[in-house]
Amino acid sequence: MIKPIKIDSHYKPSEKLLQGRSILITGAGDGIGKELAISAAMHGAEPILLGRTQAKLEQVYDLIEGQTGIQPIICPLDLEELNEDRADELANSLSSELNGKLDGLVHNAGLLGQRTPIQNYSAKTWNSVMQVNINACFILSKALIPLMSASPDASMIFTSSGVGRTGKAFWGAYSVSKFAVEGLAQLLSEELSETTSIRVNTVNPGITRTSMRAAAAPAENPESIKPPADIMYGYLYLLGPDSKDMTGQSIDL
Ligand code: NDP
């Protein structure tokens, strides 16, 4: 049963909220992930930028270095190609760079796939969307849980959607993958709450001005919807110590 809750949109993160925290963000080259990487660094975090387009990650690196002096770690990786071996390699290399500890993991990367009835849905697209939106979250979480367990206060965030909580016509694999995200987050939050300090929650960003939204609703005026900056309060709250006791929640921003 999913009962979404809200975070106070007036939440004011302290300037040093994420000081000393290393936070891996997938899909950090664009949209919400890009904004979050910059925002986290502005609050003291060391971001790890994972994404499939190196040039975009380098641009985010330059922005962060220019604004904060922090030099993020860049991980160019196509999540469609992710398997357990590649994830273990990533975990090993991060372990040496981060002294064995990771404080945050934001599963943000996403693929929209087709907006079409199931009868017309391509199985190839279905598999790609499921691989990026849910399988990669499972594989990456599994590989990084040991590093996160070494943190005294770790936060894992999954990215859901309105159509991951109520099925809607023509959203195909995207909708189904987001339901799966909710399930994975629920069971992980239970498993990890007993033995680690890792909390696990899902976030539905709501309609937000990004390339994905433009592809999903091409007739919509982008100026009529909120930019990613307007929802950073929720991510910062969940990544920092103020949400220490919150786990297993589905959050609407
Ligand atoms: P964008 O399309 O703007 O950004 C998605 C990011 O994910 C991009 O940086 C993209 O890389 C990356 N990505 C996609 N496929 C892969 C892959 N195979 N390997 C690595 N990285 C990949 O989308 P949003 O910022 O809008 O979406 C962020 C999250 O929020 C998604 O999970 C989405 O489902 C969710 N969401 C968004 C809503 C909205 O209205 N915007 C509403 C509800 C949920 P590249 O830049 O190289 O393409």
Tens digits of per-residue pLDDT, 29-88?
999 999 999 999 999 999 999 999 999 999 999 999 999 999 999 999 999 999 999 999
What's the distance, CA 252 to chain centroid? 14
Which atom of ligand 1 is nearest to 109's Cα? 7
pLDDT of residue 2: 87
Catalytic residue list contains 174: yes
Give, as one character, the DSSP assignment of residue 132: I
> What domains appear along the chain, each with residue ranges and CATH number?
5-252 (3.40.50.720)
Tens digits of per-residue pLDDT, 185-241?
999 999 999 999 999 999 999 999 999 999 999 999 999 999 999 999 999 999 999
- CA within 13 Å, CB half, 129: 21
Angle at 209 between CA 203 and CA 72, to 5 degrees: 65
Amino acid letter, 10:
H
Q: Is 124 exposed, middle or buried (0-12, 13-18, 19+ CB in 10 A)?
A: exposed
Averaged pLDDT for residues 118-132: 98
For residue 201, give the H/E element and its range: strand 198-204
Alpha-carbon separation of residue 230 from 11, 44, 136 (angstroms): 12, 19, 27
For residue 156, give the H/E element and its range: strand 154-159
Rg (CA), the chain: 17
- Annotated catalytic residue within 11, 61, 121, 174: 174
Computed over every residue of the chain, the mean pLDDT equals: 97
Ligand 1 atom 8: residue of nearest CA: 27
Rounded Cα gap, residues 207 and 193, in angstroms: 31
**What's the token pair of residue 211?**
């390339």
CB count in 10 Å sphere of residue 171: 22
What spacing in Å lies between the alpha carbon of 235 and ligand 1's midpoint? 15
Rounded Cα gap, residues 209 and 215, in angstroms: 11
Which atom of ligand 1 is nearest to 107's Cα? 32
pLDDT of residue 83: 98
For residue 151, give the H/E element and its range: none
Any residues with Cβ below 6 Å from ligand 1, and which? 27, 29-33, 51-53, 56, 78-80, 108-111, 132, 159, 161, 204-205, 207-208, 210-213
Confidence bin at 109 (pLDDT 50/70/90): very high
